[in-house]
Amino acid sequence: MIKKQYLMIPGPTMVPERILRAMVREMINHRGPEFTKILTAVTEGVKKCFKTKNDLFIIPSSGTGGMEAAVVNILSEGDEVLVLNIGAFGSRWTKILKAYRANVDEIKFARGTAADVETVEKKLKSKKYSAVFFQQNETSTGVLNDVQSLAQVIKKYDTLIVVDAVSGLITADLRTDEWGLDVVVAASQKAFMLPPGLSFVSFSKKAWQYYEKSKMPRFYWDFKSMKDWADKGQNPFTPPVSLYYGLEESLKMIDEEGLENIFERHKKLRDITRDGLKKLNLKLLASDDVASCAVTAVFPPENINADDLRKKVKQNYSVVLAGGQEDLKGKIFRIGHLGYCLETDIMVSLDAISKCL
């Protein structure tokens, strides 16, 4: 039987044929002028997506590697840090920070809600933190944090702001410089419409001041080394060349559609998805005011197991949905609607879910 897959998970996302084809090119010397040209151009292109003039590093790693790089370049063992945990990727910040022996305080918000600005400010008043870590978009719950308001408050306390925008970037506006975000992390396999394998991290002047004092051990993730090599138009270590070819094409497509139009498309996809699910009488994890533009988390009807439903939808219609993480494992399913995703993909997905229920 032939199949036609609809990959409706929040990453890896579907890759347009244009990008797949762009990746089919012979290797080149990563220390030669041809590669320098590509590296320079894609770095500028990714900066535009971050809305930043800060340094930006492209790292051969998954998104989590970018998060680890963000941690080890600004902190020392024992530093006091705060994590705003609204889901599994908030917990990931905590795990990385604890692995490197920072002193972590965590505010855990109910799953399906965003970080509450007043609660955060109260905590910041009670103790001096070196840095605050949170998500733009929490992939595990489908919640979009109000990054701008959070940043506005955190900045008052002379604290570094570190944002994991891996699943959120390009699905919703994020203004790194205007909002004063010191370190922002993204990755290739989300709204950049690329296969996984690259992470992106922007690093502010203030973050560089932290770098100077930071004593956490680092080599592969060291931003100073990346900067020194970038000044020569190269990477410290061999870059995943084929993904750079894909990134060139991805940035062209983003430029053609326009960032603001892409934000609008993602908003529309989110609204269509949520409307359709509500019409099926399904309960959504996040309320409308904090709903993610990248992924929607849904409870199945009470008598139905989320993972059984996912299996059936996949078997019958090749629509691939994501499951729940942490406490939500087996209890919810998630529909990714980011990157190379259009209304027609949502139409198929909703209809497939409806028919399988």
- Token pair for residue 166? 């891996």
- For a second copy, the closer of residues 7 and 306 by Cβ is 7
The minimum distance between CB 65 and a second copy, in angstroms, equals 5
**Euclidean distance between CA atoms 165 and 136, whole angstroms:** 5
Q: Are 213 and 79 in contact (CB under 8 A)?
A: no
What single-letter DSSP state applies at residue 141?
T
Sheet holding 55-60, edge to edge: 55-60, 198-203, 183-187, 160-164, 131-135, 80-85, 103-108
Q: What Cα–Cα distance (Å) separates residue 234 from each residue in 30, 199, 242?
A: 7, 16, 15
| 196-214 as b/e: b if 16+ CB within 10 A | bbbbbbbbbebbbebbeeb
- For a second copy, the closer of residues 51 and 314 by Cβ is 314
Residue tagged 């902190």 (tokens): 75
The minimum distance between CB 278 and a second copy, in angstroms, equals 26
- For a second copy, the closer of residues 70 and 124 by Cβ is 70
**DSSP letters spanning 248-306:** HHHHHHHHHH-HHHHHHHHHHHHHHHHHHHHHTTPEESS-GGGB-SSEEEEEPPTTS-H
Q: Is the peptide bond before 12 cis (omega within 30 degrees of 0)?
A: yes
- For a second copy, the closer of residues 150 and 239 by Cβ is 239
The minimum distance between CB 261 and a second copy, in angstroms, equals 24
**Euclidean distance between CA atoms 163 and 66, whole angstroms:** 11
The minimum distance between CB 251 and a second copy, in angstroms, equals 18
Residue tagged 């509450």 (tokens): 116
Task: Express the helix, strand and coil content of the chain in percent, nearest 5 each.
Answer: 45, 20, 40
Q: Tell me the three state secondary structure of residue 25.
A: coil
- For a second copy, the closer of residues 29 and 305 by Cβ is 29
- For a second copy, the closer of residues 26 and 231 by Cβ is 26
Q: Are 44 and 230 in contact (CB under 8 A)?
A: no
- For a second copy, the closer of residues 25 and 205 by Cβ is 25
The minimum distance between CB 234 and a second copy, in angstroms, equals 12
**Euclidean distance between CA atoms 244 and 300, whole angstroms:** 40
The minimum distance between CB 60 and a second copy, in angstroms, equals 5
- For a second copy, the closer of residues 52 and 296 by Cβ is 296
- For a second copy, the closer of residues 83 and 150 by Cβ is 83
- Cα 150 to its chain centre, rounded Å, is 17
The minimum distance between CB 180 and a second copy, in angstroms, equals 27
The minimum distance between CB 318 and a second copy, in angstroms, equals 11
The minimum distance between CB 30 and a second copy, in angstroms, equals 6
Residues of the shown chain interacting with a second copy in the complex, contacts defined by CB under 8 A: 5, 7, 9, 11-15, 20-21, 23-32, 60-65, 68, 95-96, 99-101, 187, 189, 195-197, 216-220, 222, 236-243, 320, 322-323
